[in-house]
Amino acid sequence: MASASGFGTFTQAEYAQRLAGVKSRMEKADFDLIICQDPANMCWLTGYDGWSFYVPQCVLVHLREDRPIWFGRAQDARSARLTTGLPEKNIVPFSERLVQQPVEHPYDELAQLIRSRGWGNARIGVEMDAHYYTARCHAHLVSGLPEAHFANNHDLVNWARLVKSEAELVLIREAGAICTHAMKRAIEKMRPGVPQNHVIAEIYHAQIMGVPGAGGDYAAICPLMPVGEGTSTPHLTWSDAPLPDSGLAILEIAGVRRRYHVALTRTVHFGKPPQAIVDMAKAIVEGVDAGLEKARPGYTAEEVEAAWQAVLRKNGLKKESRVGYPVGLAYPPDWGERTASLRPGDTTEMQSGMCFHFMAGVWLDDFGIAISESFVVTDHGGERLCDVARELIVID
């Protein structure tokens, strides 16, 4: 019986459609075989789920094979049987003695597997930017397959994931409800003098408890909560220090449903905020509205970003980094999909069903404000996935 977190989440027909789409992309890119080590791609292709991505593992897709092949640690083969619908012959474990072995490597056996299938001289696409595809993985694979032709597959599967199916959107909207719940619980907890880690504990509880009918999952990124001067940079976490009597705090979290993520950021000010901070927050919200209006088929990623930047410029502000990225199925260390970006020069066309985190924030030398939204591209503009007050949240 398949786990609800893996193969049982979607129909066999949906997995077959995903595989067909990936093979079409492979043919266009002139690959016979791709090797996917990104755990999100492994899950998307097969349903495989497990905290096993700290060791080498992958899913193989060959143009002439009807189903993908899972390759991983022997200890985790049972996870593949539980979470995927793959036949036994497509679940191939490597020897336990190869785990963290200083000389030999699991990909030595992967190379043997590829040769045994007659694919030793194949045109092979690998995920050069995948977080867990190490230099050592690549070196052993190349050494073991001297007649193969290797190339970066340029996140081929990630791009295939960009437009979500209706079944995926159900999970994403549930993740949005979980994110809404967790953010509201956090804001209720954020009072002067409350230790920062107490707020984070409240978030973790809300994330995992989820909402009625939809339990939560662990997030690919831990909650981020810079406080005071720390708000001038976006990726700080928390301490056990008390929240201040006055000043800013930013909170960035995600709701997760069966590995599908929806992210959200809100900014809190303790005490009466200066007018400059109030005005900056209003400009950020207005900029998001302008961008979401363009988040519909017929516009491009750069046009969505340009609408946001126009509002910032009108208010004497600027943000040099990208303002958004796709979200969906994810594992640590990141919930972004590493494909399109909402930034100048990205001509990716918006399509209904794409999901982005509109990371609307401005960071100055001594403070920052972020009021983001995750959204689905629709014919009517970006559909917000969360329902939390879209303003600077003032706590007296």
Beta-carbon contacts of 93 under 8 Å, excluding residues fewer than 6 positions away, are: 71, 72, 73, 74, 76, 77
Query: Where does the pLDDT of residue 72 fall: very low under 50, low under 70, confident under 90, or very high at 90 and above?
Result: very high
Please give the model's pTM, rounded to 2 decimal places. Answer: 0.96
- Residue 83, helix vs strand vs coil: helix
The strand ranges marked E within 238-284 are: 247-257, 260-270
Biggest distance spanned by C-alpha atoms of the chain = 70
Cβ 197 vs Cβ 330: under 8 Å: no
Angle at 83 between CA 253 and CA 258, to 5 degrees: 20
CATH code, 7-160 = 3.40.350.10
Residue with tokens 């090797």: 35
Fold entry, domain 166-395: Creatine Amidinohydrolase (3.90.230)
Beta-carbon contacts of 38 under 8 Å, excluding residues fewer than 6 positions away, are: 127, 130, 131, 132, 133, 157, 158
pLDDT above 90 covers what percent of the chain? 97
Interatomic CA distance for residues 234 and 225, integer angstroms: 8
Angle at 33 between CA 30 and CA 34, to 5 degrees: 100
Within a 10 A sphere around the Cβ of 396, how many other Cβ atoms?
Answer: 9
Cβ 20 vs Cβ 45: under 8 Å: no
Give the pLDDT mean for 18-31: 98
Q: In the prediction, which pLDDT does 1 show?
A: 35
Q: In the prediction, which pLDDT does 6 show?
A: 59
For CATH 3.90.230.10, the residue range(s) in the chain are 166-395
Query: Where does the pLDDT of residue 2 fall: very low under 50, low under 70, confident under 90, or very high at 90 and above?
Result: very low
